[in-house]
Amino acid sequence: MCDAIATSREHVPPKCLFPESKDSFGHELRSNLFTVPSCDAHNSRKSKDDEFLMVSLAGVVGNNSIGYRQNQTKVSRAIKESAGHLLALVFRGERQAVSASIRNRFVDVIVGTPNVIRLNTCLDRIARGIYCHHFDRPFKGSTRVVMAHLIYTQPNAKAFTLFLKHRAEVDLRQAERIGSNPSVFFYRISEPDNIGLRILHMCFYEGVDVFASFIPEGTTLQPNLVNELIQMGVPTCFELEGRKYWLNEADDQQQAGPSASGVPSGPP
């Protein structure tokens, strides 16, 4: 991502997300990992972000048994070694412990608002690293990251995230899943659309779905009337494969006044 000379190789995603054999009942999950060129300064500087990302992703409710095991072993050790400071970095503001039923058993989970800004930075770097690995060149341009595994409390954010996930699934339906250890991580990447945008799907522990759009340098995004109507508060419906996703939804859509609908094409 920088202009410095590459002097080492960096794992994308970070190697710490892949359990060691001692934490995975002897299974080898660190073989054939993706690496990209890196300068020493940035490679070493991001180690704290890698640890933050591991704690943020491994313990998400809905992950597979590998993620759960990673959370109970390496993540727990890291939190204890930091005297709880690392866990505090994962959340913004207050958090609370609750008991939840997962796979017919009750476990203690922590509920709170995640540090979305830092998460976005980490996931943007991984997305750019995957692009560099896949195409053997750095990506020049901007990205937009959507973390579909988060629980959004605002109705518009929740509905729009569900729509984006569905839209990306349609665009990536024929795309190959790439990754030697898909139970920990795999990715899919789309062909470019008519203005050169691509969509990337990154999946961690079969439960954390992250999507990133690649917007090449110099690309001009056209104004979108539907987006303007959403900003104005007009009830708006995206319809895709027979499913409807409402934004600014009124209690009674029949009496809500004017509404707009659309099915945007291309990557979100």
24 in the same domain as 100: yes
Six-digit token pair at 249? 């939804």
Whether residue 129 is predicted with pLDDT greater than 80 in this model: the reply is: yes
Could you say which of 116, 143, 167 is where a domain stops?
116
Strands (DSSP E) contained in the chain are 8-11, 35-38, 91-102, 105-114, 141-147, 185-189, 198-204, 208-216, 236-240, 243-247, 260-262
20 in the same domain as 97: yes
**What's the whole-number mean pLDDT along residues 162-184?**
94
**What's the whole-number mean pLDDT along residues 142-153?**
93
Sequence-separated (6 or more) residues with CB below 8 Å from residue 222: none
137 in the same domain as 94: no
- Domain membership flag for residue 239: no
- Domain membership flag for residue 24: yes
- Domain membership flag for residue 147: yes
Whether residue 267 is predicted with pLDDT greater than 60 in this model: the reply is: no
C-alpha span between 230 and 226 (Å, rounded): 6
- Domain membership flag for residue 246: no
Could you say which of 98, 116, 134 is where a domain stops?
116
Task: Give pLDDT, residue 149.
Answer: 92
**What's the whole-number mean pLDDT along residues 88-116?**
83
Q: Which of 67-83 are b and which e, b meaning 16 or more Cβ less than 10 Å from the residue's Cβ?
A: bbbbbebbbeebbeeee
Cα distances (angstroms) measured from residue 22 to each of 30, 64, 69, 109 = 12, 18, 11, 24
Whether residue 146 is predicted with pLDDT greater than 90 in this model: the reply is: yes
Task: Give pLDDT, residue 190.
Answer: 95
The answer to whether 211 and 187 have CB atoms below 8 angstroms apart is no
Task: Give pLDDT, residue 106.
Answer: 80
Mean pLDDT for the chain overall: 87
Q: Residue 103 — φ and ψ, nearest 5°?
A: 50, 50
163 in the same domain as 77: no
Sequence-separated (6 or more) residues with CB below 8 Å from residue 188: 172, 175, 176, 177, 178, 200, 201
Six-digit token pair at 25? 């009942």
Whether residue 266 is predicted with pLDDT greater than 50 in this model: the reply is: no
138 in the same domain as 98: no
Task: Give pLDDT, residue 93.
Answer: 80
Task: Give pLDDT, residue 262.
Answer: 39
Cα–Cα–Cα angle for 214, 217, 220, nearest 5°? 90
215 in the same domain as 156: yes
C-alpha span between 207 and 67 (Å, rounded): 9
**What's the whole-number mean pLDDT along residues 131-145?**
95
Among all chains, which residue has been given the structure tokens 């499913």?
A: 243
- Domain membership flag for residue 244: no
178 in the same domain as 89: no
The answer to whether 192 and 132 have CB atoms below 8 angstroms apart is no
133 in the same domain as 87: no
92 in the same domain as 174: no
- Domain membership flag for residue 227: no
Task: Give pLDDT, residue 251.
Answer: 55
95 in the same domain as 24: yes
- Domain membership flag for residue 2: no
What's the structural domain count of the chain? Answer: 2
Task: Give pLDDT, residue 84.
Answer: 84
**What's the whole-number mean pLDDT along residues 180-196?**
95
- Domain membership flag for residue 262: no
140 in the same domain as 201: yes
Q: Which residue range is the domain that position 125 belongs to?
A: 118-220
Could you say which of 199, 220, 241 is where a domain stops?
220
159 in the same domain as 100: no
Q: Express each pLDDT in 16-27 by its tens digit.
A: 999 999 988 888
